[in-house]
Structure 1
Amino acid sequence: MPPHRKYAFLMILLAWAITSIACAAPAPSAPTAYPAEQVRADFDRLYAQLKASHYDLFARRSRADYDARFREMRREIDRPLTALQVRLRFQRFVAFGNIAHARIDPPSAAWDAFREQGGKAFPLYLRVAGGKVYIADDYSGRDDIAQGDQVLSVDGEPAMRWLEHMRQYVSADNDYMAWAQMETQLPLLTWMALGEVTVFDVVLVEPSGAQQRVKLEARTRAQFEATEANKPARFELDWNAREARMLEGGVGYLRPGPFYDNRPQAATPWDPTAFGGFIDAAFGEFIADGASSVLIDLRDNPGGDNSFSDLMVAWFADQPFQFSPGFDIKVSEAAIESNRRRLDSIGGEQDSTSRQLAAAYAGKAAGSRVMFPIPRVSPRKDGGFRGPVYLLVNRHSYSNTVLVAAIVQDYRFGKVLGEETADLASTYGALEKFTLPLTGIEVSFPKARILRPSGDPQARGVVPDIAIATPLAAGSTDTVLEQALDVVRAMGPSPAPK
């Protein structure tokens, strides 16, 4: 799936999940333009609500720096602004805090309308590696540009500095996370930051060392699609696939797919019954076929819910486990109201997490903290897989996929292979939302501090035990999996340290 299509699908899934769970009130119809005083009033409300609701708004930016940014941006609101202009300004302000789960979602409807009307976009997807910028995917339609070419500059700016224009719209805890997100969103982010630009002046360096300057024309959606249709076959991960099979050397290969019910006929994405059946069948076959080790491939996995992933980990765990000691939650009016809407939507479910949260919030003052415990999960009572287990991750392993890798690493259930995850193992999360009263913009914020099982608070992803780099240019085969299998087979059938 092309990067822009994958990103669009994930945004639809996220919207489905949040809408079905939070049941937020619909935003009012947006006028052609908002008066400056109305925008300033909602901007004031935005900052006040973030300070009141965010677990720690100043974790990565000082209060003095945030106050200064607020005053500067507020002064700039001196004329009527369209709904899109307001949304972009507000997201830039929220993203300034460098917390991934504090964000305003991209203006997908406006972007789709722009593209459907023939709007042209930057035709490259770029990847940052080792402080340099490379072409990860090319929709320019040109024969003199290829995956793996280094980008030296764009419109006269060094490539890294040019990317900073788009970086300011990305909510991310560090640059590594931001660059990973931008790989799949760059045409959209370029439009958000620069508007419609029809031609880009780009200086490239080919792997041979040859340098060239090209006038790179922006392209329509139809041109993107035509280029995709004419591309030669190359290996591409299917992030949505579930697969289990035996490989040479007695290795059981499991690609579990996302940790939610991704079947088209699923009534809800959050019922783990079908996923549990798939996992039980996979490990049952591995054991029956005499697998000496299992490799679980979590590359490009968007994550989901631990009620799914716990079913998988329980098959090879040798002690009770939990993905975090608990959620340290900041109580706020916005969190209480968001939780109340969820309760209204689920009716009489007595054991729901939302009902437990309501009980935890009861009698607590806004601004106080409550610890929400995470129950331990036991290994399978009827026996599980006792050979060595390996997890394969990359920078696009997200959400609770990262928590699975942290569990395996911290409890010594197996070894982690691949590249460092961009998403963090200890994070500010448990996302909630509030709605600005005048513009109707929904703002996400983290209500909790979530630590990995070891309690290590550092703002990093899961760092693999054995590093395997993802190549800059995709070939016809899965070279990363081939390297991972070489590692697994070289380690032999003895159990991985636990």
Structure 2
Amino acid sequence: MRKTLIRFGTGALIVLLGVLVILLYPDHGGKGSGSEPAKPALEETSPLEGTLSANAADYTAAQPATMTVQEMTEDLDFLVKTLEEVHPSLIEGWSESQRHTIGEIYNQIQQPLTKEEFYFAANNIVTLLHDGHTAMSPFFTGSEAITLPIYWTQEGPVVLNSVHELKRGDLLVNVGGLAPDELLKELTRVVPAENEQWVKISGVGMFKSSAFLRHLDLVQNGKVPVTVEREGNLLNLELRFNPSSPWETMQTPYVTGNTDYGYSFDEELSIGTLRINTCDFNQDYIDIVESFFTEAASRNIRRVAVDLRNNTGGDSRVIDEFLRYMNGLNKYNSYTGLVRYSKQATEQRGEEQDSGYIAYDPYQVHVTNPGTPSFSGQLYVLTSPKTFSSGNWFAVVIQDNQLGTVIGEPTGNQPSSYGDILRFSLPHSGFQFTVSYKQFKRPNSELDAETALMPDILVHTTRQDIIDGRDPQMEKLKEIISQETK
């Protein structure tokens, strides 16, 4: 590659109603310690949450509740034009099907609407791109929300923590009369995503919000009726709204610790676990990776597991830094992709041209400064639906280069996807939105069509796991190691 291509974004929390963010890297230089520069790197976060301004609620309060047809038309014009000029999937313009949908949305705004109503109409255009990094952040995210901490298991949405009338392990049967599959269908309409996993993990913030619940007409007398199944019995409850923001960090059943990074050792099984909750490439990260491998060597650890289950992204150079410590790894295949140029990318990122695009050849990272002490044992990676953006990229590089074994659930991000966002604001409604301007291709191009990174060993979190407080992915890892050592 003749030019640095880096992936990064907003992070991973997300953007999308609760989480997400980017791919390519503009300003960091793209050089991880010990690696060549010119390589794709990624820094990510979640689009929605990452774009939400701190004073969004105050801004909303100061705005008229109703928008005129002209205001909405001008906002949609700006949105459609910006997406068409910036997003890599629209180099050839909108498809006929997309244009038809856009026309229907213009028809919906031929009479005054509230800002909330307009948001859901405009957001339908954003979701046409099926890109978790391209998202619109509603200014009404500071509105009321119901308290409903859930994780979407294969059995359905399960309550994670006992709160008010809810009990840990309750299975959500319906919300306002909508069954989980119907609720998921409605969330898919408003949550930009590449797969169902991301809709489920990041859409929780949306469906707890009063705005979304009113949009679906699920509020009755100021409360939201829900039905849960508990120990074989159906219980009908009414959840009240509270002033807490629904856009809290996505909740999962996995241990996160109190810091972005942390590690532990099990000397009996000779395994060290490095927990990376965010891909933040800084001195703290560099130091903790060195400390981890130094202590692993002193303990004669033969297996390393990287826990990415709570990682929604950041800077992809964290991968290069980690892989410096793999003994004998001189080079490995990394991401490639393309950059789409536009006036907007020139203004926000200082790109050298304002039109066209450049595609990059397949790329290999050459490790020129190996870390010490090096690690020669087995490598494992743990993933979940919350593994997104650079977190997803980390696991993909490991799997596509056959450097280790991925254990867990399918990730929330398509391995080959879009990212590196530009930020915009609609002129009248003030809604902020992000747009990817780079496309990333995984090392193994034969798997480009996969909508999620599929683990080598699939281990889902079940309702019973949540009830028992069990960590099924970690238990599976220990089971595998125990069998190997017999």
TM range (shorter): 0.7 to 0.9
AA in 2 matched with 1:304: G
| TM-score where L is the length of structure 1 | 0.75
Could you say which residue in structure 2 is the equivalent of 1:36? 69
| Match among 177, 188, 191 for residue 156 of structure 1 | 177
CA distance in 2, matches of 1:17, 1:282: 31
1:200 and 2:200 are equivalent in the alignment: no
Q: Which has the bigger relative contact order, CA under 8 A and spacing at least 6?
A: 2
CA distance in 2, matches of 1:477, 1:151: 20
CA distance in 2, matches of 1:407, 1:48: 35
Q: Specify whether residues 69 and 203 from structure 1 end up closer, same or farther in structure 2 by C-alpha distance, changes over 3 A only.
A: same
CA distance in 1, matches of 2:172, 2:72: 38
Q: Specify whether residues 85 and 402 from structure 1 end up closer, same or farther in structure 2 by C-alpha distance, changes over 3 A only.
A: same
Could you say which residue in structure 2 is the equivalent of 1:489? 482
Q: CA deviation at 1:157?
A: 3.5
Deviations 1:281-322 (A, max 9, x none): 110110111112112222112221122232112212623135
AA in 1 matched with 2:479: D
| Match among 434, 440, 446 for residue 436 of structure 2 | 446
CA distance in 2, matches of 1:38, 1:190: 22
Check the 8 A contact 1:235/1:474 in 2, yes or no.
no
1:255 and 2:275 are equivalent in the alignment: yes
| Match among 287, 291, 294 for residue 297 of structure 2 | 287
1:312 and 2:322 are equivalent in the alignment: yes
Q: Specify whether residues 79 and 62 from structure 1 end up closer, same or farther in structure 2 by C-alpha distance, changes over 3 A only.
A: closer
Bigger mean CA deviation after superposition, 92-101 or 77-86:
77-86
AA in 1 matched with 2:456: D
SS of corresponding position for 1:259: coil
CA distance in 1, matches of 2:405, 2:396: 10
AA in 1 matched with 2:262: E
Could you say which residue in structure 2 is the equivalent of 1:63? 95
| Match among 468, 474, 477 for residue 475 of structure 1 | 468
CA distance in 2, matches of 1:34, 1:185: 22
Q: Specify whether residues 426 and 146 from structure 1 end up closer, same or farther in structure 2 by C-alpha distance, changes over 3 A only.
A: same
Alignment of 1:316-335 (within 5 A): 316=326, 318-324=329-335, 326-335=336-345
SS of corresponding position for 1:390: strand
Could you say which residue in structure 2 is the equivalent of 1:245? 264
| Match among 106, 110, 117 for residue 74 of structure 1 | 106
Q: CA deviation at 1:55?
A: 0.7
Could you say which residue in structure 2 is the equivalent of 1:273? 283
| Match among 430, 444, 457 for residue 420 of structure 2 | 430
1:376 and 2:360 are equivalent in the alignment: no
Could you say which residue in structure 1 is the equivalent of 2:156? 133
Deviations 1:140-180 (A, max 9, x none): 612xx434333333333333113333332100112232112
Alignment of 1:312-461 (within 5 A): 312-316=322-326, 318-324=329-335, 326-340=336-350, 358=351, 361-362=352-353, 366-371=355-360, 376-378=365-367, 380=370, 382=372, 384-455=374-445, 456-461=447-452
| TM-score where L is the length of structure 2 | 0.76
Q: Specify whether residues 304 and 239 from structure 1 end up closer, same or farther in structure 2 by C-alpha distance, changes over 3 A only.
A: farther
Check the 8 A contact 1:239/1:301 in 2, yes or no.
no
Q: Specify whether residues 159 and 466 from structure 1 end up closer, same or farther in structure 2 by C-alpha distance, changes over 3 A only.
A: closer
CA distance in 2, matches of 1:15, 1:152: 29
SS of corresponding position for 2:360: strand
CA distance in 1, matches of 2:414, 2:225: 35
Greater strand fraction, Structure 1 or Structure 2: 2
- Identity score, percent: 18
Q: Specify whether residues 401 and 377 from structure 1 end up closer, same or farther in structure 2 by C-alpha distance, changes over 3 A only.
A: farther
1:51 and 2:74 are equivalent in the alignment: no
Deviations 1:159-213 (A, max 9, x none): 311333333210011223211222454313734734782333434333x5x3425
Q: Specify whether residues 222 and 443 from structure 1 end up closer, same or farther in structure 2 by C-alpha distance, changes over 3 A only.
A: closer
AA in 2 matched with 1:251: I
Check the 8 A contact 1:52/1:367 in 2, yes or no.
no
Q: CA deviation at 1:330?
A: 1.9
AA in 2 matched with 1:216: E
Bigger mean CA deviation after superposition, 292-301 or 436-445:
436-445
Q: Specify whether residues 435 and 106 from structure 1 end up closer, same or farther in structure 2 by C-alpha distance, changes over 3 A only.
A: closer
Q: CA deviation at 1:386?
A: 0.5
- Unaligned stretches of 5+ residues in structure 1: 20-26, 116-120, 225-233, 261-269, 341-357, 494-498
Q: Specify whether residues 299 and 402 from structure 1 end up closer, same or farther in structure 2 by C-alpha distance, changes over 3 A only.
A: same
CA distance in 2, matches of 1:35, 1:421: 41
CA distance in 2, matches of 1:153, 1:382: 54
AA in 2 matched with 1:257: N
AA in 1 matched with 2:122: F
CA distance in 1, matches of 2:361, 2:115: 38
Bigger mean CA deviation after superposition, 189-198 or 155-164:
189-198
CA distance in 2, matches of 1:170, 1:150: 23
CA distance in 1, matches of 2:87, 2:20: 24
| Match among 123, 139, 144 for residue 91 of structure 1 | 123
Q: Specify whether residues 474 and 338 from structure 1 end up closer, same or farther in structure 2 by C-alpha distance, changes over 3 A only.
A: farther
Q: CA deviation at 1:255?
A: 1.5
Check the 8 A contact 2:279/2:315 in 1, yes or no.
yes
Q: How many aligned positions are there?
A: 428
CA distance in 1, matches of 2:138, 2:176: 25
SS of corresponding position for 1:157: coil
AA in 2 matched with 1:289: R
Alignment of 1:110-149 (within 5 A): 110-112=140-142, 114-115=143-144, 121-130=145-154, 132-137=155-160, 141-142=164-165, 145-149=166-170
Check the 8 A contact 1:335/1:433 in 2, yes or no.
no
CA distance in 2, matches of 1:299, 1:202: 29
1:463 and 2:454 are equivalent in the alignment: yes
AA in 2 matched with 1:151: L
Check the 8 A contact 1:239/1:258 in 2, yes or no.
no
Check the 8 A contact 1:391/1:414 in 2, yes or no.
yes
